[in-house]
A and B are shown apart, each in its own frame.
Chain A
Amino acid sequence: EAGVVQSPRYKIIEKKQPVAFWCNPISGHNTLYWYLQNLGQGPELLIRYENEEAVDDSQLPKDRFSAERLKGVDSTLKIQPAELGDSAVYLCASSPGGETQYFGPGTRLLVL
């Protein structure tokens, strides 16, 4: 069974530029999460989807971050414009429901 796929794996951009991350969850997993992981810390939730509906986006900085999950499968997370403090690892996870989540390899973003 294929795991959670994320791309790109690494991204370097200049501040104020836009950037987008893509996630393909495990087949059949209705719940999709985006987490942010800063250096030396654990992942923190940005947004949770149940199918195509964003059911918890309370931690998403909506002035610059947006996300979508069209057709309830793949998802994209966008930052526009990026700031220096956005440098981090962006993790996507999926779940069939319940507590166990399966993570992708993450996208490591560096904003210069």
Chain B
Amino acid sequence: DQQVKQNSPSLSVQEGRISILNCDYTNSMFDYFLWYKKYPAEGPTFLISISSIKDKNEDGRFTVFLNKSAKHLSLHIVPSQPGDSAVYFCAAWGNTGRRALTFGSGTRLQVQP
């Protein structure tokens, strides 16, 4: 079963507007949630994370929101730039058990100039 789901395979936004990428999870034991960005032919690059005890974390243009009751998190990019065009992966990590990242299937973001 997929413990981390990204239901939108792709998203297209205009430069300067907000990009909102969504992620749902099923395992309430996850301690951290992370977003990775991936360009073609490169490995995933860490972008931003949030602890399960928080509901918001902000880093420059990137903000991650966590709604534990809904088991949902989202990444907001404001303003979006053409260089943000990439595949974004949501990942979850537990401090017990596997201690490895569980990834969603990714959302391809295209920022139109």
A-B contact count (CB 8 A): 56
Decide if A106 is an interface residue (CB 8 Å cutoff).
yes
Decide if A102 is an interface residue (CB 8 Å cutoff).
yes
| CB within 8 Å for A101 and B46 given contacts A42-B89, A56-B98 | yes
Please count how many residues in chain B sit with their CB below 8 Å of the partner chain's CB atoms: 25
Decide if B42 is an interface residue (CB 8 Å cutoff).
yes
Please count how many residues in chain A sit with their CB below 8 Å of the partner chain's CB atoms: 22
A48 to B93, CA, bound (A): 14
Asked if A56 and B44 sit within 8 Å, CB to CB, the answer is no
| Centre residue among B9, B49, B100 by max chain A CB count within 10 A | B100
Chain B residues 69 to 86 lying within 8 A of chain A, measured CB to CB, are: none
Q: Which residues of B contact A (CB under 8 A)?
A: 4, 9, 31-32, 34, 36, 41-46, 49, 89, 91, 93, 95, 98-101, 103-106
